[in-house]
Structure formats: C-alpha cells, structure tokens
C-alpha cells in the first residue's frame, strides 16, 4: 500500500470508468455504451479463480450434474490448479439454494482447533505471538474441506461421488500446464514453502528451480489422495489411509493434529441469516463467519442513506461507507465466535432497530476516530489468500462457496505422501486473551479451545429478488471480503451496474483498526482531498478482493470473473458446448 501523497499520480491516471449513466433497470444484457460486459449463458455457469477448474465444473453440469456436483468438482479441481488457496487441507463455508424446495442451506466446514492446541504453545515468555502460529505443522488446524464437500454432495448431489472427484484425480496425475499466475505464485511463495521438504519436492524441480510458464506440473501424491477420496470415500481422509499419513506426518514434524481430532471432525449444517435491502433479500453465512453478520448490519445501516443520489464512489458515499464499516467491524470483532462454544448476539446485530441506533453515530461532517467506537481491539489479521466460486445450474440451484488455507500456501507444510498443503488457521484465533498489555487478538469469544472453529471473514452470499436467486457473490481477501461483497451488492442495487461493472469497479476498505481508509486506484483526486478534509487517513492499495460473481437476469445467467487476480474465468455450459462443436 502507498500513502496518498506518493500515489496521486497513479490515481490521476486511473480515474474511475464507472461514472457513466447507469443502465436503466438492467434491461439490456449487453449494452455497447458500457465498458465492462459479463459472460452470458443460457443454461448453467461456474465462475472461479481458475479457468481449468471452472471448465471442469461446467463440464460436470454439461454431463447432467447439478450445481452441487459442479461445486464439488470445482472445489477438488482448485486443490490441484490453485494450490495457494484451493485446498484439501483447509476449510470454508458454503451456501446452497435448492430450487425444488425454495430454501437455502448453509454448510460450515471451517477448520477446527486440535485437542492439544493451547494458546501458550504459540506465545513466548513475554506473551508475544510466535511464528509457529503462522508457519509449519503446529499452525495447522483440523481440515474441513473434504467433509464439507462430502456433506453437500451426500445431501444434494446427483452424480456418483467418484464421477465428480475423478477430474481432479486426472489433472493431478497427468499434470497441469503451469500458468503465468502459478509460476509467479510459486516464485513469491517459495519462502513459505522452503521449510517443508515435501512441499519443495512437489512444487519445485529436483535441482530446486521453479516450474515456469508452459511446463507440466504433476502431483502424484496428491493424485493418490484424490484417488482414495474418490474410491474409498471422504471418510478415508478422516479415518482411513489418508488419515494415517496425516497423523504420521504430524508426529514426525511436531504438529498437533491427532487421529482422534480427524475422526471427531464433522461438517455442520447451519441456518443462514438474512435481511431485506431495498426490496431484495440478502442471504448469507452465520457464525463462525463474522462476515455475514457484518454484511447484513452494514446493509441495514445504509438503507438510511440515498446512495444513488450521492453517486458511486463520490466523497460523500465513500465517507458514509467508511463510517458504516467502522461500526460493523467493531461489532464483529468483539461480539462473535464459534456458535457451538459461545452465544452470538446475531439477532440483535442484524436487526433494523440496532442498525438505526448505530447509524445515528455516523457524522456526515467528520470521520469518527476508531477509539470512540469501541474499546476492543481486533483479532489477528487474516490473510487475503482465500478463494471463492459461484455456481448456477439449469434447474435454478445455486452454490456460493468460499474456502481457504489461511495464508497463501497455508502453513507451507505439505503432508508427506499425501501431496496437499495444510492451513495455518490457528493464527486466526485470539491467542492473546488475558495477556497483559495485549493490543490485538484480545477477543474472549474467539479464544482457542479444543475442537473450536476460529472466527472468519468469509462471506458467501446469495441475493434474492421476488423470491428467486438474483446474485451470487463472494470473494477472497481476508478482512476485505465483507466490504468487497457489500460494494458489489451496492453497485448493482444502488448504482444500476451490470454484474461485470459491479465486480470490476474500484473498491475501498475500512477495517476500523487499523484506521486507514484503503482505496484502489480509480477514485477521483478531488474526492480524496475532500475525504482527507473530513479526517480520513488515506492509503492506496493495489487491489482489494477478487470476487467471482453471477447474476440471473431476464432468463439469462451473467457471470463476471474478477480481473484483480489472473486466471479467473466464468464458464457457461452452453458456451462450452458451442465452442466444443
């Protein structure tokens, strides 16, 4: 990130292209008066951060699978093609809309703390957090991804389990062509990976040199694991041969995950949470996601303001959004944790009455200092290296899924003989609860306990119009996820953008603490000066989030893959067929 004073020239060259006259009622699918256009399909679509994974999911639907089948196939494929974020060794959240039942379900497959995990293991004698909460086997929590994908498929999939896992087996065994994105990721990810001999043997050549664009990367150990999952079932990951390899690796490397931790892990069904925003219903993930609660709280507060009249990314709009974000982020940091361990005040936080009360604290004339909002400090910062994918099928079923390894390439530790990376989600617990002088990670609600799921910002979301799915939204980005999802919804609802415009538009982020207002290039210079005069301390950040979005409009499926991270793609089934002929 760059301070405003050193970034004015950059912003001046990147004035927002989004200041055109908005589309009237979104009636035209392709409007040649606009700059950005979605991918349009008649049948079904997958939008993910990797083109091959999107194609695999779309092909599953082309062969008769539904959105859940496609989501499972995409999730496993990303573990091969996007190793920095796609995963078997992490966890996440999934929303599924079931068209035949007209209901939405939420699956919580967030990683969980091993029974042996204690905060003192990750703190030095002065109460400072050690690197073992971030790097190596001790940083790994019990993975939930395989259990989560299995639960979704078991309940609502239509094709055989082996069929939807098989494409990932094949690309791991036969190899993937290294993209420029993957080559670059391995280059800068080397520092995290080089402490693991198994990771280096997997992602680098025998002489230690990196794979480069156009070369084949084969992952035979990962192929073995995926083959076991496909044929022996997901239970093998938690109680079978894969579990044995995980435990052996943990024992050899000093990790905390035991056989009993794996055997005890379960993905869980949760009740989604929702609010109405300007006539639409926004449905999202409950805790242990803090993102869903914060998103709904912000939407409820923002209903009091005429954002359309104020203008997209104007100084007044950015100021109101920033102040709203501060309030919601303060609430999420002090008020939430794993619902199986703590009682979350969700109904209060997402109520219209509470939003009205909080919105009264927003001044139009001045930025509110963070210390005047709440005395609590935030938990440890989350990494931006997560990934999201959105799926819609021809029956109208929808999946919105976000999952993560934590940091890019997770803990950097790869399970010997199994070929997959482990997360570093231990760092997202409040490890310094009751430590004298602690200035962060100080939330009692999110303290580490055996079997507990750490708080998360992941915010998979589905927006409904007149009872039918209208938008599917989600993003990686750590704490920026919530604000990314928020702005895409606002861009469509309040500023009449198509889904591509809404996804590509310059973004902002306010985290409460630290208090800087972060902006991507593309904001008007005069607006930034107004914001500074209101008391905002501005930092320019290269990118915020990387959303993979879908809109359903006029009987068509419109997808947008965020260009902020290379390699993302929206792949429609009818388009896939057309280009295959």
**Could you list the active site residues?**
386
Report the C-alpha gap between 340 and 554 in whole angstroms: 42
Q: Is 456 annotated as a binding residue?
A: yes
Exposure of 11 in the CB half-sphere (CA atoms within 13 A): 26
Peptide bond into 7 cis (omega under 30): no
What are the residues whose beta carbons fall under 8 Å from the beta carbon of 424, sequence distance 6 or more?
133, 134, 135, 139, 140, 405, 406, 407, 410, 411, 412
Q: Is 189 annotated as a binding residue?
A: no
Q: Is 457 annotated as a binding residue?
A: yes
Report the C-alpha gap between 409 and 423 in whole angstroms: 8
Report the C-alpha gap between 330 and 277 in whole angstroms: 22
Helices 220-231 and 241-253, packing angle to 10 deg: 140
CA distances from 210 to 81, 97, 482 (A): 16, 42, 34
Report the C-alpha gap between 403 and 476 in whole angstroms: 8
Task: Centre a 10 Å sphere on the Cβ of residue 42 and count the other Cβ atoms it contains.
Answer: 14
Structure tokens at 312: 């997209």
Structure tokens at 504: 């590509």
Spatial CA neighbour of 39 closest among 551, 399, 405, 491: 551
Spatial CA neighbour of 484 closest among 547, 438, 541: 547
Q: Is 240 annotated as a binding residue?
A: no
Which amino acids are annotated as binding site for L-glutamate, given as ranges? Answer: 110, 456-457, 478
């Amino acid at each position: 990130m760059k301070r405003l004073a050193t970034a004015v020239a950059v912003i001046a060259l990147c004035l927002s292209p989004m200041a055109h006259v908005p589309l009237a009622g979104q009636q035209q699918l392709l409007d040649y008066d606009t700059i950005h256009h979605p991918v349009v399909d008649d049948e079904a679509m997958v939008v993910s951060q990797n083109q091959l994974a999107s194609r695999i999911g779309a092909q599953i639907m082309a062969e008769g699978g539904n959105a859940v089948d496609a989501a499972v196939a995409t999730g496993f494929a990303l573990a091969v093609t996007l190793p920095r974020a796609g995963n078997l060794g992490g966890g996440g959240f999934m929303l599924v809309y079931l068209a035949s039942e007209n209901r939405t379900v939420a699956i919580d497959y967030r990683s969980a703390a091993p029974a042996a995990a204690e905060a003192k293991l990750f703190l030095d004698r002065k109460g400072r957090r050690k690197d073992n909460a971030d790097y190596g086997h001790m940083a790994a929590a019990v993975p939930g991804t395989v259990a989560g994908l299995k639960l979704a498929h078991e309940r609502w999939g239509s094709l055989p389990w082996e069929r939807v896992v098989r494409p990932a087996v094949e690309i791991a065994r036969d190899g993937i062509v290294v993209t420029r994105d993957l080559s670059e990721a391995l280059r800068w990810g080397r520092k995290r990976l080089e402490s693991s001999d198994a990771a280096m043997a997997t992602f680098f050549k025998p002489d230690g040199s990196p794979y480069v664009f156009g070369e084949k990367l084969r992952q035979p150990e990962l192929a073995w694991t995926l083959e076991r999952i496909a044929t022996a079932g997901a239970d093998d990951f938690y109680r079978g041969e894969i579990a044995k390899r995980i435990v052996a690796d943990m024992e050899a490397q000093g990790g905390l995950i035991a056989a009993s931790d794996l055997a005890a892990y379960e993905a869980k069904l949760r009740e989604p949470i929702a609010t109405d925003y300007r006539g639409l219903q926004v449905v999202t993930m409950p805790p242990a996601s803090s993102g869903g609660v914060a998103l709904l709280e912000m939407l409820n507060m923002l209903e009091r303001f005429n954002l359309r009249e104020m203008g997209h990314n104007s100084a007044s709009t950015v100021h109101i959004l920033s102040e709203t974000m501060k309030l919601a982020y303060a609430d999420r940091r002090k008020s939430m944790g794993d619902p199986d361990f703590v009682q979350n005040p969700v109904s209060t936080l997402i109520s219209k009455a509470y939003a009205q009360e909080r919105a009264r604290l927003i001044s139009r004339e001045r930025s509110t200092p963070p210390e005047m909002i709440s005395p609590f400090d935030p938990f440890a910062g989350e990494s931006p290296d997560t990934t999201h994918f959105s799926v819609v099928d021809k029956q109208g079923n929808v999946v919105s899924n976000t999952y993560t390894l934590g940091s890019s390439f997770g803990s950097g530790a790869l399970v010997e003989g199994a070929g997959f990376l482990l997360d570093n989600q231990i760092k997202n617990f409040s490890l310094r609860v009751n430590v004298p002088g602690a200035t962060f990670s100080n939330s009692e609600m999110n303290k580490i306990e055996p079997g507990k799921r750490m708080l998360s910002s992941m915010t998979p979301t589905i927006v409904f119009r007149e009872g039918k799915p209208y938008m599917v939204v989600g993003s990686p980005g750590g704490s920026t996820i919530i604000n990314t999802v928020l702005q895409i919804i606002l861009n469509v609802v309040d500023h009449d953008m198509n889904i591509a415009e809404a996804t590509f538009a310059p973004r902002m982020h306010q985290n409460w603490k630290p208090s800087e207002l972060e902006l991507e290039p593309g904001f008007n210079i005069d607006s930034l000066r107004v914001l500074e005069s209101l008391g905002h301390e501005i930092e320019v950040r290269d990118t915020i989030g990387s959303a993979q979005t879908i809109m359903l409009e006029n009987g068509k499926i419109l997808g947008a893959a965020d260009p902020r991270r290379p390699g993302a793609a929206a792949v429609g089934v009818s388009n896939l067929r057309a280009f295959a002929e």
